[in-house]
Amino acid sequence: MAAINKDFDDRLAVKFVNLAEERLGTKVLYTTDDFFAEKENLIKVGRGIFIPDKYTINGKWMDGWESRRKRVEGHDYCDIQLGLRGIIKGFDIDTNHFLGNHPPHASIEACDIDGNIDDNTVWTEILSKTPLDPGSQHLLEIKNTNAYTHVRLHIYPDGGVARLRVFGDVSVDWTKKDNSQSFDLLAIQNGGKAVTANDMFFSSKDNINVPGRGVNMGDGWETKRRREPGNDWLILALGCPGTIQEIELDTAYFKGNFPHAFSIECANLIPLSLDNVLDDNIVWRPLIDKQFLKADHIHNYKNEVQTQGLITHVRLNIYPCGGVSRLRLIGKFDNNYINVLNTLSKSDFISQANKCCSSTTWSKYLEAQRPFKNLSDLQSKSDSIWKEMKEPDLLEAFDGHSKIGDLETLKKKYHNTTAWSKDEQAKASDADIEILKELQKLNNDYQDKFGFIFIVFATGKSAQEMLDILKGRINNDRTTELTNASNEQNKITRLRLEKLS
């Protein structure tokens, strides 16, 4: 159990990571106005405080972000770079202490970019205009499977917000990492997660894998004093399946309440449901045997770590109770991406699957077919699911493509697939301008006739070859062409699954 904080509603906090937490590297980049209270307060810890007699040269001091009273058209907003890229699942827009000066409404947009925000940045609204109450937390869950790096908080028309929390699952693209290097596979920035603990009376399990050393005794995982036999424990999931080479356990600031000893067990849960880590059938194997601990000390272990092969989860046992500030598990991730796909969270998997096919139904059905034995098994299950898709599912998948010969006009909501679309159409981009113009014209004619764009497995085909195929198909009836497009889409999906794995 955890200590009860009646002042904070943690229903989202216990399920997701606050991607906008300051200690994760979040930055408040820009606001239209923070005359009364600085924008940086939005990402501070806690709910903010109120000091009745404290004033600044601009007016009443407030622990939050507050703009001046707007006397012109428009509204205020604030841009935030998330500390960790993630799949956003909800928000807490907290107007604590803002009573006569809170904004009546708010909305939130998001974007996923590598660089800086500029005038060309494409924003997607993920929370529509929502009413706000004074002095209140507003826990707002959303349906979303896309990963984002930035959010823009709009308030209408002006006013003050104490804190903004952005809850979700950390998204890590392990295909971009060098598997010859070692990583802290448990780190929150690498997708590691504290899943469950038998006790966290004094402080949360979620502190144990964040960056940096603890700043005080409250910045760690601490259980109450155990008065009965046994020991306390915490189960954690690695961000990616891997092998562990080194262990670091830090008892920073735990001096009269550090555990006497600890041990770590491990398991490979790829074949099992990842939601049931307490299953009695799980075989927990020793990763490191019981080791005695010191107060306020970083403990490093290398020779003591046992070789157990590929693992996905660990169980930290502390004897009998006490507090641990940080746990690091250094090792190498598995470069078999099928194993990675099998261990992704549901939302992360769907986000990856959407890169291969934009049909929401297909992605959800494929996720339900995990685990996959290998690439062939993945593609086979995908084929079977695709055969059951209805026309709306097919059209949704088609809509995720750019037109052959019209590479500049890309639908912004499917931006994750555009890099592959361009690569798959590379030969077309080298064609002479007349062929491209004819491709574009016939594409438009095709879409006008059938109601969806021309879909073809373009890999390895020249622009002239694609033009010839288009000329041969444009005279078909709609039923025939829907079947043709579906077959071509499945070829594209199979190739993208291969790239993904």
Q: Between these two residues, 146 and 28, which has the higher pLDDT value?
A: 28
Single residue among 130, 149, 170 that ends a domain in this structure:
170
Q: Do residue 155 and residue 181 come from a single domain? A: no
The string of pLDDT tens digits covering residues 451-486 is 999 999 987 787 788 889 999 999 999 999 999 999
- The CATH number of residue 450's host domain is 1.10.3330.10
**pLDDT surpassing 60 at residue 410:** no
Residues in the chain: 501
Whole-number pLDDT of residue 3: 46
Whole-number pLDDT of residue 491: 94
Whole-number pLDDT of residue 69: 96
Using the Cα atoms of residue 269, residue 274, residue 279 and residue 284 in order, give the sign of their dihedral. Answer: positive
Q: Do residue 365 and residue 495 come from a single domain? A: yes
Whole-number pLDDT of residue 432: 67
Whole-number pLDDT of residue 382: 96
Q: Do residue 462 and residue 489 come from a single domain? A: yes
Q: Do residue 372 and residue 295 come from a single domain? A: no
Indicate the average pLDDT of the chain.
89
Other Cβ atoms less than 10 A from the Cβ of 269: the count is 21
Single residue among 123, 148, 170 that ends a domain in this structure:
170
- Would residue 349 count as lying in a domain? no
The string of pLDDT tens digits covering residues 91-150 is 999 999 999 999 999 999 999 999 999 999 999 999 999 999 999 999 999 988 889 999
DSSP H or E run through 148: strand 147-156
Nearest to 47 by CA among 27, 18, 15: 18
Distance CA 339, CA 379 (A): 15
Whole-number pLDDT of residue 6: 57
- Would residue 344 count as lying in a domain? no
The string of pLDDT tens digits covering residues 390-404 is 999 999 999 888 665
Q: Do residue 320 and residue 377 come from a single domain? A: no
Residue 98 contacts residue 64 (beta carbons within 8 Å):
yes
Q: Do residue 187 and residue 289 come from a single domain? A: yes
Nearest to 168 by CA among 349, 343, 18: 18
Distance CA 166, CA 17 (A): 8
Domain boundaries, position 144: 17-170
Whole-number pLDDT of residue 350: 87
The string of pLDDT tens digits covering residues 439-453 is 888 988 999 999 999
- Would residue 7 count as lying in a domain? no
Burial 192-213, CB ≥16 within 10 A → b, else e: bbbbebebbebbbbbbbbbeee
Q: Structure tokens of 58?
A: 């601009």
Average the pLDDT over 197-205 and give the result.
95
Q: How many domains does the chain have?
A: 3
**pLDDT surpassing 90 at residue 423:** no
**pLDDT surpassing 70 at residue 415:** no
Whole-number pLDDT of residue 343: 73
| Nearest-5° Cα angle at 370, 364 to 375 | 105
- Would residue 343 count as lying in a domain? no
Q: What is the percentage of the chain residues whose pLDDT exceeds 70?
A: 91
Q: Structure tokens of 432?
A: 């002479």
Q: Between these two residues, 237 and 403, which has the higher pLDDT value?
A: 237
Average the pLDDT over 304-332 and give the result.
96
pTM (2 d.p.): 0.71
Q: Do residue 466 and residue 363 come from a single domain? A: yes
Distance CA 375, CA 379 (A): 6
Q: Do residue 380 and residue 431 come from a single domain? A: yes
- Would residue 4 count as lying in a domain? no
Q: Do residue 152 and residue 274 come from a single domain? A: no
Residue 354 contacts residue 93 (beta carbons within 8 Å):
no
Confidence bin at 434 (pLDDT 50/70/90): confident
- Would residue 395 count as lying in a domain? yes
Whole-number pLDDT of residue 421: 52
Residue 70 CB-half CA count within 13 A: 19
Task: Report the range of poorest mean pLDDT among 172-186, 269-283, 401-415.
Answer: 401-415
Whole-number pLDDT of residue 404: 57
- Would residue 388 count as lying in a domain? yes
Single residue among 124, 151, 170 that ends a domain in this structure:
170
Q: Do residue 404 and residue 445 come from a single domain? A: yes
Using the Cα atoms of residue 79, residue 151, residue 26 and residue 45 in order, give the sign of their dihedral. Answer: positive
- The CATH number of residue 108's host domain is 2.60.120.260
Whole-number pLDDT of residue 152: 98
- Would residue 2 count as lying in a domain? no
Confidence bin at 173 (pLDDT 50/70/90): confident
Whole-number pLDDT of residue 140: 97
Q: Do residue 127 and residue 234 come from a single domain? A: no
**pLDDT surpassing 80 at residue 348:** no
Average the pLDDT over 176-189 and give the result.
92
Give every CB contact of residue 425 below 8 A, 6+ residues apart in sequence. Answer: 402, 404, 405, 407, 458
Q: Do residue 155 and residue 185 come from a single domain? A: no
Whole-number pLDDT of residue 409: 39
